[in-house]
Structure 1
Amino acid sequence: MDQTNILDAPKVYSDLVSKSKEVGFTMPSDLYIGTLLKTLVASKRGGSFLELGTGMGLSLAWILDGMDKDSCAISLDNDGDLIDIAKEFFHKEARLKLFCCDGEVWLKEYTGDGFDLIFADAWPGKYSTLDKALSMVNMGGYYVIDDMKKQPNWPDGHEELAKSLVDILEKREDFVLTKMDWSTGVIVAVKIK
């Protein structure tokens, strides 16, 4: 098996990669997390999806590519410049709502329906407001995080923070989780209670 042989990348993906290099965006999600997100999203027909940390939209491209016509997604980031770039690429996407806001505030104020998948690729929903994010996952839905293996750009103390997050997730009885030492280090959790 050759995991590098990816035949179904979103049409916009290579343009997003080029744009990220052009603007010097140094925190793109790994290609493999994109393929995983697309697969998980495809399992939830008519689903509702939340991405915390849009960045330039690299992972979002995969999420949208996995969605059917009856699905919808919300993606948010606190960087207006990045959201503006994402809007350039996804402005015709009626299934998507993009927000430039503080993710922690958004999570605390959100009172709508739950989500079939939450991809927490930012501090909010991962290292802060974790309980709120997990409460928003529908039964049988996925909670996905990446960057759980030590990264060269991690500040001092972040490795301990990541280990603490893993400990917290392992102790929860309302989720079943798989930790994968793959890509940038991925955890996929499924809500069971």
Structure 2
Amino acid sequence: MDDTPRTRPPALGALHAGADRLAFAMSCEDRTGSLLATLAASKPGGRLLELGTGVGVGAAWLLHGMTADASLLSVEMNPDVQAVAARHLGDDPRLTLTVASADRWLDTYSGPPFDLAYVDCRPGKFHRLGDLLGFLRPGALYVVDDLLPQATWPDDHQPRVDRFLADTPEQPNIQSTTLCWASGLMVAVRR
């Protein structure tokens, strides 16, 4: 079976070129992106959240699958990196880009709950998972990637991943499945 995505977001090439210019090597890969688009399509009119915009590759895939009446809030702490996303995706009225650390955003968010959260940074994944889950409505999807060893990992990162993989299935308010596919994924549903 060929699991190469058959359709891709139009802005993907420009986003990758922007990542190359900034030497940003932490964008989601195409198979993960294709899954994100599929999961976003399962939430028509939904409110989606991305923690860790990066240059916008994950956001592009989410937007690719979203319905016209859905919305995506994407949070990134590095304004220079997120500027690439703003340049190539910022005209999409479904997208709101926020410059803030995920920790600060988790401390201050007080809006309505989300139907899907894609977490591509440490907060909401390796710490503060409970805080993030509190912002998801029952039935919401929780998606993380980069659970298989990556060339970009610092030397002390594997123990974080190991703890996450050991502890997350014990969370009483989610049902999760890990996938040894793409960069290593977890897809969960908020109970």
Determine if the TM-score, normalized by the shorter chain, exceeds 0.5: yes
RMSD of Structure 2 on Structure 1 (CA): 1.1
Deviating beyond 3 angstroms after TM superposition, the runs of 4 or more aligned structure 1 residues are none
Determine the structure 2 residue equivalent to 1:176: 175
For the residues of structure 2 that align with 1:184 and 1:81, how far apart are their CA atoms?
A: 25
Deviation at 1:10, TM superposition (A): 0.7
Deviation at 1:74, TM superposition (A): 0.3
Which amino acid is 1:92 matched to?
Answer: D
- Contact kept, 8 Å, 1:54 with 1:83, in 2: the verdict is yes
User: In 1, are the aligned partners of 2:11 and 2:89 still within 8 Å (CA)?
Assistant: no
| 2: CA distance, partners of 1:115 / 1:168 | 23
Answer yes or no: is the 8 Å Cα contact 2:22–2:81 preserved in 1: no
| Cα pair 2:176 2:189 within 8 Å, conserved | yes
- Give the structure 1 partner of residue 130 of structure 2: 131
2:57 paired with 1:58? yes
Residues in 2 aligned to 1:22 and 1:155: alpha-carbon distance in whole angstroms: 22
Contact 1:50–1:119 (CA<8 Å) still a contact in 2? yes
Report the alpha carbon displacement of residue 111 of structure 1 after superposing the two structures with TM.
1.2
Aligned partner of 2:3: which letter? Q
Q: Which runs of 5+ in 1 are unaligned?
A: none
- SS of 1:89's equivalent in the other structure is helix
Q: Which amino acid aligns with 1:104?
A: D
Q: Distance in 2 between matches of 1:106 and 1:14?
A: 29
User: What is the correspondence of 1:34-183 to structure 2 with a 5 Å cutoff?
Assistant: 34-183=33-182
Please name the residue that 2:3 is paired with. Answer: 3
Deviations 1:53-112 (A, max 9, x none): 000000100001111111001001100101111111112111111011111011121111
Distance 1:50 1:184 in 2: 20
Amino acid paired to 1:159: Q
CA distance in 2, matches of 1:83, 1:26: 14
Deviation at 1:156, TM superposition (A): 2.3
Report the alpha carbon displacement of residue 138 of structure 1 after superposing the two structures with TM.
1.4
Distance in 2 (CA, whole Å) between partners of 1:15 and 1:75 is 18
Q: With structure 1 as the length reference, what TM-score do the two structures score?
A: 0.95
Count of residues in correspondence between the two structures: 191
